[in-house]
Amino acid sequence: MKSWIEVPTDSDFSLANVPFGVCSFPSSSTLSSTTLAPCTPRCCTAIGNHAIDLHLLAEAGLLDNLLMTTESDESRCSEIITNFHPRIIFSQPTLNEFMSCEKHVWVAVRNRLLSLFLDSSSSSSNNDIQIAIQADNRLQQNSALQSQCMHPLSTTLYHLPASIGDYTDFYSSREHATNVGIMFRGRDNALQPNWLHLPVGYHGRSSSVYPSLASSATTSENDCERNLVGGEKMSTVRRPCGQLQVDPLDPAKGSIYGPCKLMDFELEVAFFVGGPTNTDYEQDHNQQQQQPRGRPLTLSEAQDRIFGYVLMNDWSARDIQKWEYVPLGPFTSKNFATTISTWVVTSMALEPFRCETSAGVQGGGGEPTPLEYLKDPNYGSYDVNLSVSIQPSSTSAITQICTSNLKHMYWSSAQQLVHHSVTGCPMNAGDLLASGTISGKDQHNFGSMLELSWKGSREVKLESGEVRKFLKDGDAVIMKGGVKGRVGACRIWTMLCTNFAGY
Amino acid sequence: MKSWIEVPTDSDFSLANVPFGVCSFPSSSTLSSTTLAPCTPRCCTAIGNHAIDLHLLAEAGLLDNLLMTTESDESRCSEIITNFHPRIIFSQPTLNEFMSCEKHVWVAVRNRLLSLFLDSSSSSSNNDIQIAIQADNRLQQNSALQSQCMHPLSTTLYHLPASIGDYTDFYSSREHATNVGIMFRGRDNALQPNWLHLPVGYHGRSSSVYPSLASSATTSENDCERNLVGGEKMSTVRRPCGQLQVDPLDPAKGSIYGPCKLMDFELEVAFFVGGPTNTDYEQDHNQQQQQPRGRPLTLSEAQDRIFGYVLMNDWSARDIQKWEYVPLGPFTSKNFATTISTWVVTSMALEPFRCETSAGVQGGGGEPTPLEYLKDPNYGSYDVNLSVSIQPSSTSAITQICTSNLKHMYWSSAQQLVHHSVTGCPMNAGDLLASGTISGKDQHNFGSMLELSWKGSREVKLESGEVRKFLKDGDAVIMKGGVKGRVGACRIWTMLCTNFAGY
Ligand SMILES: [Ca+2]
Ligand SMILES: [Ca+2]
Ligand SMILES: [Mg+2]
Ligand SMILES: [Mg+2]
Ligand code: NI
């Protein structure tokens, strides 16, 4: 499986990935003759070191007549998908319309892109790809179109992949919930009574979800370093001010206004909801006007409504959180910024990396078995290595302070989605559902400074000789996600680099 | 102050109101020749028994050349507002674009509408209106336009006034927070330590905010009754299923799946955010791409960013809530439905009813004085009477079970908005911020069944002879809001009637 487009061996964007995102190309000179202005965000994919403008592929007819992939090999490719309008869908400034399509459309678009990227002249066997995709040489042979639709990632600007109607943050890593529980309630009452029965979550603030501006072309540690030192295209999150307890040990003494002193990150992975909204019309015959109402999703429905995943940093002001969160949950301590990576890695791309969660079987270790509506026949997660590194402003040395893995999730994405809708909440394409901090068993697997410094009681050492309990102004926080693919090692997520700054 | 349009004395929509909403008119025969199809939602106002199509007023040029109202009487009406495009703004299917304008635009549109509705031939003095508005007879004299843009409320269909980017629910009635605290933690620890220092709130789910379909033409109790019995145009909320404790007294026994047994309403008032978003661009000169970031609003800014108010029923499944809400707050117990009234009563219309809150002066009763950023020089609320009635399906008798008042708010709307943005959360036009349950001191002033039945320990008697602790299937919940205006009594909110049904 080889592309005619150059794909460096350590690229985030091999043929195994084919992510979706929203980009603009203000510095492009080749876009001046096309329908959308260069600075207009449009839907894209990425391969090797290039972003590919899907709007222009669609305009050129290369995304027409998509074929439905069915279960049987015989009937595969026999049916053309109707009611899919790529020229309209991919000229949108967000992926919401594409996400709202049924899963078979996502699969068909992905397969067509693979066809267009495959080298038609290459004699290499296709043993490496799951579905035997035939090369489609229409882009390979059209250099004029190539020059318009292919853009170096180094000059690509990133936008939010979707207009996020609602954003929810779960709390689904057992190790994280246990760590927090031990710190605040002691070892005997670490997990709350409800935790093993349902995926605990809360509504977040969608207006403060920001895209990471990090250039995905900088794939090696060295490149990243240069990039960080150069300071180019890094999104910046500023230390917030808010209400803090006068005395951290005694809430009865009231609060002061001031800058957060306990700034933290949370290593998370979030997914975008796709497919049609789970609504029905009321059957009440007395009504003149019928309103759509949410209905609970089943688990098998939910599996086809997970469009794809991003890395997420859920910035957290721990001292503000501590004072405000009783009894209704985190509020201003979280709603100033949440950063996500901008290339959405599809569930199709992640499927080969499906694995058992580190919990094994729910109920297998004496935990309660999930209630019927939460039983997931495909219970599991993905084997995606995650890491967090810090680069202080004083140095070019980057220290990896945490390694974790997406498999450390007790509740699966499908279970989260089903539970979210259990009472009838409408789940819309473009909604973002986050994992919660993903921590593993050992100390170096903890996904937040709160846990790494164990509530500020121990120091995390950096290569520069500095130490951290929480974040300092000027720290760059670098999150990465990677898989070991069948086609060699590949990282499938762009890095999430964010600079943290004081006021 | 008299309109040439008939305004019944008990109408919600006198010249003192002039609300904004989004309506459609599928049964209209006069709209066939206009640009928007009759079933297309568009921006409207209401006067008397009519909805007025603002899109058609704008198309006819009647909203052009709006005048800026300035402080001094001399310079008033001297300046024409530029960069306001009523044809575009009022042909939108939501009020978001209008809400995003500066407050002086809202005032100018309201004043123009008053001019158009004033009877130019009436000799009555204008002593009753605050600003001496001159009648503008262009609508009064244009019967062709009248027949197109005026629609009986009885055939008007209602939509959400705005696309709600984010919805937040506060907890700002001291009496309500105290009641809940006494029930769950005892009288000595009723208020949490943070409650008097900041407006406690949490992020809600915007996808499940629904418009009330109740016809606002039914203004008298009798009309309402007929309407309810007829069952026309009532939105229906269904009893949700979810996770409940096996043993309500012992969470350690785990949970079952089943229908909520403790269904409740919450009497609330919510406001829509207006004006420009509180964002700045990062000044970091190293960045190629600049991202807008939220910045804290000041209290004086916040006062001009409150567009207007609606009634709200925050449906609550108490048994689901009890099991799930620790430690991150309510989730599936609230995210199945939140109903709002559809006519937005502007802050301009409410201004004459400004009053002290029932708390008097913050700090005056020994409470902490608010931190500097929360000090509200205009601290207060509005004197708006609120009520909740129930009509069981078995009877036509309606029982008023609660009377309350918007003045029972300890934290003002401006304080809520400022605190929401204190760490830098972007607040967008169309965001909805709710008061929390508004309870008064006495038992009949409690704004939820949880409080009225004191956690199910006492029965609420209905006129039919039935009793309630929580809601039963078939109960219609009717919320009303009214003010005593200078021009006689007038109710300024349409009723919020919702039918509650089983599965
Ligand atoms: Ca989190
Ligand atoms: Ca509430
Ligand atoms: Mg939302
Ligand atoms: Mg939102
Ligand atoms: Ni186009």
Which range among A373-382, B85-94, B226-235 shows the weakest confidence by mean pLDDT? B226-235
Q: Distance, in angstroms, between B150 CA and closest chain A CA?
A: 20
Query: What pLDDT was estimated at residue A92?
Result: 97
Q: Which of A201, A240, A427 sits opposite B331 (nearest CB)?
A: A201
Which residues of B fall within a CB distance of 8 Å from A257?
A: 371-373, 422
The arrangement of strands across the sheet holding A157-159 comes to A150-152, A50-53, A42-47, A20-24, A157-159
Looking at per-residue pLDDT, the higher value among B484 and A247 belongs to A247
DSSP H or E stretch at residue A270: strand A267-273
pLDDT at B295: 95
A281 versus A384: the higher-pLDDT residue is A384
Instruction: Give the whole-number percent of chain A exceeding pLDDT 70.
Output: 86
Model pLDDT, residue B446: 98
Q: Average the pLDDT over A111-119 and give the result.
A: 96
Q: Which residues of A touch B210 (CB under 8 A)?
A: 291, 293
- Which of A293, A328, A373 is facing B200, going by the closest CB pair? A328
For residues B472 and B265, give the distance between their C-alpha atoms in angstroms, rounded to a whole number. Answer: 12
Segment B403-432 shows an average pLDDT of 97
User: Which residue type is seen at A33?
Assistant: S
- Give the environment of ion ligand 4: residues with CB less than 5 A: A 206; B 165-166
User: Cβ A233–B420 below 8 Å, yes or no?
Assistant: no
Q: What is the pLDDT of residue B394?
A: 84
Of A183-192, A447-456, B415-424, where does mean pLDDT reach its minimum?
A183-192
Closest approach of B129 to chain A, Cα-based (Å) = 37
**Chain B residues with beta carbon closer than 8 angstroms to that of A296:** 241
Is residue B72 scored above 70 in pLDDT?
Answer: no
B347-379 exposure pattern, b = at least 16 Cβ within 10 A, e = fewer? bbbbeebeeebbbeebeeeebeebbebbebeeb
Q: What's the rounded mean pLDDT across residues B451-466? A: 96
**pLDDT in the model for residue A489:** 37
Residues 6+ apart with CB under 8 A from A156: A23, A24, A25, A44, A51, A215
Distance between CA atoms of B322 and B230, rounded to whole angstroms? 36
The ligand placed nearest to the CA atom of residue B447 is: 2
Q: Find chain A residues with C-beta within 8 A of B230's C-beta.
A: 286
Lowest mean pLDDT among A119-133, B215-229, B267-281: B215-229
Q: Measured in angstroms, how far is the CA atom of residue A437 from the centroid of ligand 1?
A: 5
According to DSSP, the β-strands at A167-170 and A432-434 are parallel
Q: Which of A291-295, B220-224, B347-351 has the highest mean pLDDT?
A: B347-351
Q: Between chains, do B337 and A368 touch, taking CB under 8 Å as contact?
A: no
Q: What is the pLDDT of residue B395?
A: 83
Q: Which of A50, A55, A151, A176 is catalytic?
A: A176
- Helix ranges (H only) for B251-330 are 299-303, 318-324
The residues of B assigned a catalytic role are 176
The whole-angstrom distance between A202's CA and the closest CA on chain B is 6
Instruction: Give the mean model confidence (pLDDT) for residues A61-73.
Output: 81
Q: Which of B202, B230, B335 sits opposite A328 (nearest CB)?
A: B202
pLDDT at A191 over 90: yes
pLDDT (average), residues B18-28: 92
- Residue partners of B433: CB distance under 8 A and separation at least 6: B167, B168, B170, B201, B270, B271, B273, B413, B416, B417, B420
What is the per-residue pLDDT for B320? 97
Of A70-84, A147-161, A172-186, A292-306, the one with minimum mean pLDDT is A70-84
Q: Are A155 and A27 in contact (CB under 8 A)?
A: yes
Confidence class for position B220, pLDDT limits 50, 70, 90: very low
Structure confidence by residue, pLDDT tens digits, B260-271: 999 999 999 999
Cα–Cα distance between A215 and A185 in angstroms, integer?
42
Instruction: Please answer yes or no on whether B327 and A329 come within 8 Å at the CB atom.
Output: yes
Percent of chain A with pLDDT over 90: 68
- Please judge whether A324 and B194 are an interchain contact, meaning their C-beta atoms are less than 8 angstroms apart: yes
Band the pLDDT of B70: cuts 50, 70, 90. Answer: low
A197 is catalytic: no
Indicate which of A179, A194, A428 best probes the interface with B, i.e. most B CBs within 10 Å of its own CB.
A194
pLDDT in tens, A221-251: 433 333 443 344 567 888 999 999 999 999 9
pLDDT at A376: 97
Q: Which residues contact A57 (CB under 8 A, 6 or more apart)?
A: A63, A86, A90, A116, A139, A145, A149
Does A218 score more than 50 pLDDT?
no
The CA A5 to ligand 5 mean position distance, Å, reads 24
DSSP state of A226: H
Cβ contacts of B335 on chain A, cutoff 8 Å = 203, 420, 423, 425
Q: Are B296 and B278 in contact (CB under 8 A)?
A: yes
3-state secondary structure of A118: strand
Question: How many of the other CB atoms lie within 10 Å of CB of B83?
Answer: 7
Q: Residue B462 pLDDT > 70, yes or no?
A: yes
Say whether A332 and B422 touch across the interface (CB within 8 A).
yes
Name chain A contacts of B197, Cβ cutoff 8 Å. 243, 254-255
Ligand 2 mean position, distance from CA B172 (Å): 10
Averaged pLDDT, A473-495: 67
How far is it, in rounded angstroms, from Cα A499 to Cα A321?
21
| Cis preceding-peptide flag for A327 (omega within 30 of 0) | yes
Q: Which residue has the higher pLDDT, B33 or A229?
A: B33
Q: What is the ipTM of this complex?
A: 0.93
Alpha-carbon dihedral sign for residues B357, B363, B368, B374 = positive
Mean pLDDT, chain B, integer: 88
Distance (Å, rounded) from C-alpha A154 to C-alpha A158?
A: 11
Partner-chain contact B331 A210, CB within 8 Å: no
Looking at residue B170, its pLDDT comes to 98
pLDDT value at B442 more than 70: yes
Reply yes or no on whether the pLDDT at A442 is more than 60. yes
Per-residue confidence (pLDDT) for residue B291, from 0 to 100 = 77
Spatial contact of A99 and A161, defined as CB atoms under 8 Å apart:
no
CA of residue B388 to ligand 2 center, whole Å = 15
Q: How far is A284 from chain B (nearest CA, A)?
A: 8
Q: How far apart are CA A434 and CA B17, in angstroms?
A: 43
Query: For residue B80, how many other CB atoms are within 10 A of its CB?
Result: 12
- Determine, for residues B423 and A333 on separate chains, whether the beta-carbon distance falls below 8 Å: yes
Q: What is the pLDDT of residue A135?
A: 94
Average pLDDT over residues A387-398: 88
> Is a pLDDT exceeding 80 seen at residue B402?
yes
Chain B residues touching A282 at Cβ < 8 A: 236
Kindly determine whether residue B289 and residue A330, on different chains, have CB atoms separated by under 8 Å.
Answer: no
Q: Which of A327, A332, A373 sits opposite B423 (nearest CB)?
A: A332
Closest CA to A320 of A402, A395, A227, A251: A251
Question: What does the pLDDT read at residue A495?
Answer: 58
B493 pLDDT above the threshold of 70? no
pLDDT value, residue A282: 62
Tell me if A157 and B193 make a contact (CB, 8 A cut-off). no
Q: Do A467 and A459 touch, CB atoms closer than 8 A?
A: yes
> Using the beta-carbon criterion (under 8 Å), do A193 and B252 form an inter-chain contact?
yes
Backbone angles phi, psi at A201, to 5 degrees: -155, 170
User: Residues near A250 by Cβ (< 8 Å), separated by ≥ 6?
Assistant: none
8-state DSSP, B240: P
pLDDT reading at A197 higher than 80: yes
- CB pair distance less than 8 Å for B207 and A326: no
pLDDT tens track for B103-119: 999 999 999 999 999 99
Q: Looking at CA atoms only, how far is residue A67 from chain B in angstroms?
A: 33
Q: What is the mean pLDDT of residues A407-419?
A: 98
Q: What is the pLDDT of residue A332?
A: 98
What pLDDT, on the 0 to 100 scale, is given for residue A401?
Answer: 96
How long a stretch of residues is chain B? 503
Q: Which structure tokens are listed for B66?
A: 């709006």
Strand partners, A312: A268, A340
Q: Which chain residues have CB less than 5 Å from ligand 5, an ion? A: A 35, 59, 91
Contacts of B240 in chain A (CB under 8 A): 422-424
Q: Does residue A312 carry a pLDDT above 90?
A: yes
A496-501 and A235-238: which strand pairing?
A: parallel
Pair of tokens at residue B396? 């036509």
CA distance B329 to B333: 10
Inter-chain touch B423–A325, beta carbons under 8 Å: no
Q: What band does A490 get if pLDDT is binned at 50, 70 and 90?
A: very low
Residue written as tokens 């539970």? A419
* Interface A:B, Cβ pairs < 8 A: 243
- Helix, strand, coil in percent for chain A, rounding step 5: 20, 25, 55
Distance CA A421, CA B300 (A): 40
Ligand 1 centroid distance, CA of A488 (Å):
32
Residue range A71-93: average pLDDT? Answer: 80
Among A395-399, A488-492, B211-215, B351-355, which stretch is predicted with the lowest mean pLDDT?
A: A488-492
A203 to B205: CB separation less than 8 angstroms, yes or no: yes
Cα A311 to ligand 1 centre (Å): 12
Question: Distance (Å) from the C-alpha of residue A472 to the closest C-alpha of chain B?
Answer: 17
Provide CB contacts within 8 A for A141, sequence distance 6+: none
Interface test with A, best of B168, B171, B239, B328 (most A CBs within 10 A): B328
Q: Which of A294, A332, A371 sits opposite B336 (nearest CB)?
A: A294
- Summarised one tens digit per residue, pLDDT across range A333-389 is 999 999 999 999 999 999 999 999 999 999 888 899 999 999 999 999 999 999 999
Q: Is the pLDDT of residue A463 over 70?
A: yes
User: Are A451 and A469 in contact, with CB atoms under 8 Å apart?
Assistant: no
Task: Pick the more confident residue, A490 or B186.
Answer: B186
**Which residues from chain B sit within 8 angstroms of residue A498, using beta carbons?**
none
**What is the predicted pLDDT for the residue at A124?**
53
Query: How far apart (Å, rounded) are the C-alpha atoms in residues A4 and A114?
Result: 11
Ligand nearest to the CA of A328: 2
